[in-house]
Amino acid sequence: MGDARQTIAKRAALEVKDGMMVNLGIGIPSLVPDYLDPSINVFFQAENGILGMGPTPSLAAADGNLSNAAGLPVTILPGASYFDSAIAFGMIRRGFIDVSILGALQVCSKGNLANWIVPGKRVPGVGGAMELAYGAKNLIALMTHCEKDGSPKIVKECSLPITTFACVKKIITEMAVFSIHDDGLRLDELIEGYTLSDIESSTGADYTISSSLA
């Protein structure tokens, strides 16, 4: 079954299509460029003012002055551009981002996203997640299927503070791929190594099963 984070990022990379403008959140989403098909031309955008990020550099090749919004080192591709955060957020707020891929702490069956704070832990603030969840044309949430104690992260109602309501269109975990529709959550795909029984015992919300899995 391999490393969960890498499995999730590899599957998420299949959602990125040629010509898209894509924003990646911190954590697992930042691994997605490492798994893109080389034939795909895509512009990755960062809120701190980059359009055209490439794969993660090796430690030796990292440039201390070139990072994404999380402060992690990145590379840039030919044709990349730099700009200030006001322009970066203008792109997001005006709906120019084709897909935003964000990490998540919880997602409910209605598509509510909780991804910015665990009560009692210090964080700098919600950051760009709120605007990305609202402004992107498509929002994909990446997360491990369960917490370390085994409790599900896909739930009927989020118990953590909400980032944005009814925004998530797809959930990708190391176990499965779900899509969210007006009538609720649908299991669309099993990740290799997992069964329908595994999903049933690890998911805290009701869902239907795609005809392709029935």
List of E strands, the chain: 21-24, 43-46, 50-53, 76-82, 99-103, 106-108, 113-114, 139-142, 154-155, 170-172, 176-181, 184-190, 208-209
Catalytic site residue from 47, 174, 189, 192:
47
- Token pair recorded at residue 71: 């402060």
Q: Please, is 6 exposed, middle or buried when counting C-beta atoms within 10 Å of its C-beta (0-12, 13-18, 19+)? A: middle
3-state DSSP assignment of residue 109: coil
Specify burial of residue 134 (Cβ count, 10 A radius: 0-12, 13-18, 19+): middle
Known active-site residue 47 = yes
The torsion angles phi and psi of 140, rounded to 5 degrees, stand at: -115, 130
Look at strands 184-190 and 21-24 and give their pairing: unpaired
**H helices within 13-155, ranges in order?**
85-93, 129-135
Instruction: Tell me which residues are annotated as active site.
Output: 47
